[in-house]
Amino acid sequence: MVGKRNEPHVIFVPYPSQGHINPLLQFAKRLSSKGVKATLATTKYTVKSINSPNISVEAISDGFDESGFSQAQKADVYLKSFKENGSTTLSELVTNNKNSTHPISCIVYDSFLPWALDVAKKHGIDGAAFFTNSATVCAVFAHIHYKTFSLPAKIEDNEPLLLPGLPCFYPIDVPGFIREPESYPAYLAMKMSQFSNVENADWIFDNSFQELEGEIAREVSEIWPARLIGPMVPSSYLDGRIEGDKGYGASLWEPLSEECLKWLKTKPSKSVIYISFGSMVSLTPKQMEEMTYALIDSNMSYLWVVRETEKCKLPKRFIESTNGKGLIVSWCNQLETLANQAIGCFVTHCGWNSTLEGLSLGVPMLAMPQWSDQMTDAKFIDEIWKIGVRPKLDKFGIVRKEELLFCLKEVMGGERSYEIRRNAREWKNLAKKAISGGGSSDKSINEFVNSLNLACQMKKYMK
């Protein structure tokens, strides 16, 4: 083992939510497959949910070790505590590994946790920021942080917003934190803090790929020089180069895969509407009602993920009235579901991970963003990549039954369905090409690995 002492060892520090753990853990697996020792350092509350071959798992503290964020209840309280306790325990982890067979070479940290870079610099090791949003969303926040663009004091509904190097945005297209900064001040502060010390990072990574957003990334490279290394989706659904990599290896919920897959086997190809709004989004009772009526009137089969806490919003007797047309579950394995031949449409909240999964698996989408960066992702799904449609909101911010029904029919078999399916196939192929050997993302990952190996060799000869 002594002979392996100078091999690189990278610690990955995610923000402890499903949508942030998954891509960082996937990046860890990519590096591990290339000979790098990879360790995921996550909070004591989430550490038990990680189970991935070849990836070590270590616990650090956010100060709320029993139940994490739900114990803190307030975002600002949680973030302050995580910074204080996380800095201390991460630093201890680096120190404890200093004289081991694999001392830590680099900390790859979720950009939501800029204090992890300070820990890296304190110990004289590299720090790499990992951004989990699209390159476009990161570019928007970067422009605001570096004051290369200023939002007007009041954003009018029909007034276009012209940001350098980006498509024309309207207020409905920009992240909700920007359009209504007073709505989630703690989260807006966290978004902006991503750039507080990023200029000191040795590497900046983003979960996207050149063919998808390379031009946008180049336009902001002077203020945000990110390398696109995505999509961070399990290898079995893309290039297949990581053996047995069929899932992320982290689940904060128990998926109901068998029930879903058994039901899907009874359905014809591309006949099922898959609906999921992720782990955090909560629809209003009115929006849930409009969705149920649209599904009933569509007479199409559907698989709808409704969390237990949300089921009370469904109209009475709706579940019983599905007559085999629908299946409602509290959770399921989204990748397995999207990859199933029965799925014809993905109704999504447009979180970036879900967007990349749908795109990587070539599934047409119906975009129903609810907050934050989802608004921007929805614009690209509909207008830029043309792999889905985005329903129109009424004056109360609700997508009505008639609009939902029209859009569902459009994606499943309407005038735009051929173009949407063709584009979805093309983007699926481009995603696979990017992460495969010699692809744009693979090259960027190899450059990082080569740099880590070189640094380790230099340390060896300096002794």
List, by residue number, the catalytic residues: 20, 110
Query: CA–CA separation, 328 vs 273, rounded Å?
Result: 12
Encoding tokens for residue 257? 């895969």
Angle subtended by helix axes 352-360 and 18-32, to nearest 10: 50
139 and 226 Cβ atoms separated by less than 8 Å: no
Spatial neighbors of 273 by CB under 8 A, at least 6 apart, are 295, 298, 300, 301, 302, 303, 344, 345, 347, 366, 408, 412
- Sequential DSSP letters for 248-265: -SB-SS---HHHHHHHHT
- Sequential DSSP letters for 165-189: TS--B-GGGS-HHHHSTTTSHHHHH
Query: CA–CA separation, 317 vs 323, rounded Å?
Result: 11
First to last CA, the chain: 18
Buried-state track 40-54, b at ≥16 Cβ within 10 A, e below 16: bbbbbbbbebbebee
Tell me, what DSSP letter sits at residue 152?
Answer: -
Amino acid identity, position 454: L
DSSP element (H, E) containing 131:
strand 126-131
Spatial neighbors of 291 by CB under 8 A, at least 6 apart, are 275, 283, 404
Encoding tokens for residue 339? 């990859």
**Look-up: residue for tokens 């009137």?**
297
Nearest to 225 by CA among 257, 265, 267, 195: 195
Dihedral over Cα of 66, 71, 72, 75: its sign: positive
- Cα-atom radius of gyration of the chain, to the nearest Å? 22
SS3 281: coil
